[in-house]
Each structure stands twice: as C-alpha cells, then as structure tokens.
Structure 1
C-alpha cells in the first residue's frame, strides 16, 4: 500500500518511554517504538523524531523544587539527548540507519542541527532524531516538534500519547470525557484542550501543518496513521 505521507515528524514523550516504570526507559517500550518506526521506514516514509525528556528530568518541575528555570530547562534538554541515543540504538539494532541531531552541540555523540543536513539524511532514508529541543530555555519539546516539522517540510506532525486522542477533559480522571475525532487549531487554543502548548499550536496553525494525536502504545498505530487510516484526533483548519 502506498503511504499517505512521504515525510512525517513523530513526537514522542519522554513519559511514554517509562512504560510501567516510575522513571527511566523501558526496554520493552523503546523496542516497540523502534519496531513501529521500522515498519513505516520500510514503506518508504521519511521519518523524523522529536523526543521529550520527562522520564528523566523536566525543567518546570525542577524549577518548582528550587532549581533555576534556565538551568532546569538545560538539564531537561540533556535528558532528551539521553532518550534520543537510546532510541537510536534500538532502531539501529533493527538495521535502520539513523542520525541524532542536537540543538546544543555535542559532537562526540551527535551532529549539530542544520536544516539542510537533516533533510539530506531524510532523503537518504535515515531516521533523524532531534535532541535538545530548540536549544533555548522556556520552550517545550512540543514547540521543538512543531518548529522542526515546519523546517523539514513534514506533511504531518504525529503526536504520540498514552490516550486515544484529544478529549474535552482528562479521560484518565473522568470516564465521561468526550473524544474529538477532529478539532480546529482555534478550538484547541480557545478551549485550552490538552494537545500541545499554545506556542506549538500557533506555529502549526500559521503554517497549516496538521497534527494527529494518537495512542502510540497500541502496536501498529503508527503504520495505520501513515496508511491513511483514521485514528486518534486530527487537528487542522480554523485558522
């Protein structure tokens, strides 16, 4: 089957990597992500990934515990690089070539982020993993995902979560929570829906980049997404 998208950006949360652990990286979960990514690479899809670091350290929570916000955010960026290297290792075990590009230069372990270089890697069939957010404090990895997706001309931003999509309230706390199949950017902003932060949504809205929010812990969902099946919640329109 011909994929519905040629190039996608997949946003993985650091928390998703924990699985049932309290912190750190679940070998089972990261292997599942790697297998699902391999499936779509084998279909000819160019895949870029932005990965969070919340399983190791979050700048905002660090600030609440007395760590300077800027320092905390830089610690969070380094945490994303740890996750990026772990994902790279899991993907390459499956025979897929990858490159980790970071917004903070650390040339012993990764390449510095350069837009043209990232696109060239994608064109050669390599999975590109972006680490260290955008390199600046006060910006989330959601914003980094939106920015990188726009820069590399991705056709869609696929936000992987632990739930089935976007709801009007927290589905974990409220059984009566209603799931949206489709919602506009402006609705997300006006209703304060928990999709991505406002900066990321605004970037996507200004550049007409659709977002799909879906449950990545269900095996095969990433493949279904690139095959054009309706899964999760689509965020677009309403600019």
Structure 2
C-alpha cells in the first residue's frame, strides 16, 4: 500500500465532494490478495474469495482514514460482516449517507464468494441509484486485446454493453455487464494514473470509453 498514492487519490475524491457530487467507491483488495498469485497454497475458491473480501475491508479502512485526514465526511461500509471495523452495508442507509453529501466506501464485495469487484460495483450502483459507474484502470480506453502485448490492439471510445458481452471483452465480467445493461446505468472506463481524470469523467469531458 503506497501512502502517497493513497493520499493523492483521496485528494481527488475529496475534490468531488467539494464540487457537490454524491460519491460512492467500491474498493477492491487486489493489492493485498489475488488468488492467482497464491495458487500454490491449494485454497478452495470460497476460502480464497473470503480472504479477498477481508482485503477490501483493510483497504477501505485505510482509504477512509486518508479521506478523514483531509476533512472529508465519509463512511466506510461492508457487506461482509465485520461490525467492529466497519458499518454494516444497508442500501437505504447508504443512500441516506450519499444524500447527506457523505462519501461512501463500499467494502466486502457482494458479501458472497464467486462474485467479482466489478459485479459488486454494478450491484451497488443499482441499489443506490447511481447516474454513472466509473471504472478506474491502468489503461486509457477499452481495447479488443491487451495493448501492452499487441501493438495493433483496437481501442474503443464508445461501446454498448451488448458489444462487451458478445465480443467477450475483458473490461468487466458478464454479470457486471448484464446488471448495468438491465439497469440502464452507463460505465466510463478511464486511466486512473493521470491526475485529474476522475474529475474529467465526472463532469462529462471526453475521456476513456463510454459504455451504454
């Protein structure tokens, strides 16, 4: 966990709050635990996914603290039971926090194994009536294949969720795509590494790939 990266990201998110935006953040745990990096342990999927959900709780606590140090009004909630660490996720309560202008950090994934962070993000977006889901990544657009491996990778500035499903693009899992498609919630995929990109995505600047 990089303290400078955490603080810089917190500053960008706090700026959104200062702009009057309602901000919900679904946080992952890949920096702490990824099953593919520990296959030699011989863990079953349920155990591995449980460890992943616990990793998101650790990240949520760290990011909540970073935001509080900046004076942000923030609540970290978890769908994975851990009452002594985070508030239990209840959709109506989370919506209330958002309506009060608080930043809400969603930890614990969906609270169940076998679901990705993408699916958790789509579910939370639907439950809290979000206008748009922003997916911050390491690349600037959605591509038909890995642009770091293939120089001829084709980038997309706009896509339909049906395209993502039919072309089996790796930008999100099919459950996430189906949920957002049925809920009519657009997604913007953009590069988190460039400072200011979060604000650009929020205010509607041409950035990344828009999926509708």
Q: How does 1:64-83 map to 2 (within 5 A)?
A: 65-83=41-59
Alignment partner of 2:5 out of 21, 29, 37: 29
SS of alignment partner, residue 23 of structure 2: strand
Find the residue that maps to 1:139 and give its secondary structure.
coil
Q: Say which of 22, 41, 62 aligns to 2:17.
A: 41
Following TM superposition, the consecutive aligned residue runs of length 4 or more in structure 1 with deviations greater than 2 angstroms are 58-65
TM-score (structure 2 length as normaliser): 0.96
Measure, in 2, the Cα distance between the counterparts of 1:49 and 1:84.
Answer: 9
Is 1:211 paired with 2:181?
A: no
Q: What are the ranges of 5 or more consecutive residues in structure 1 without an aligned counterpart?
A: 1-24
- Deviation per residue, 1:218-238 (Å, 9 max, x gap): 1000111111101000011xx
Q: How many residues align?
A: 212
Distance (Å, rounded) in 1 between the aligned partners of 2:8 and 2:152: 30
**Greater length-normalized contact order (CA 8 Å, ≥ 6 residues apart):** 1
Conserved 8 A contact 1:63-1:69: no
CA offset at residue 93 of structure 1? 1.0
Deviation at 1:177, TM superposition (A): 1.4
What SS does structure 2 have at the residue aligned with 1:101?
strand
1:120 aligns with 2:96: yes
Structure with higher helix content: 2
Contact 1:59 1:75 in 2 (8 A): no
Can you give the 5+ residue segments of structure 2 that lack an aligned partner in the other structure? none
Greater Cα shift, 135-144 or 103-112: 103-112
**Is the Cα contact below 8 Å between 1:60 and 1:73 reproduced in 2?**
no
1:138 pairs with one of 114, 118, 128: 114
User: 1:109 Cα shift?
Assistant: 1.4
TM normalised by structure 1 equals: 0.86
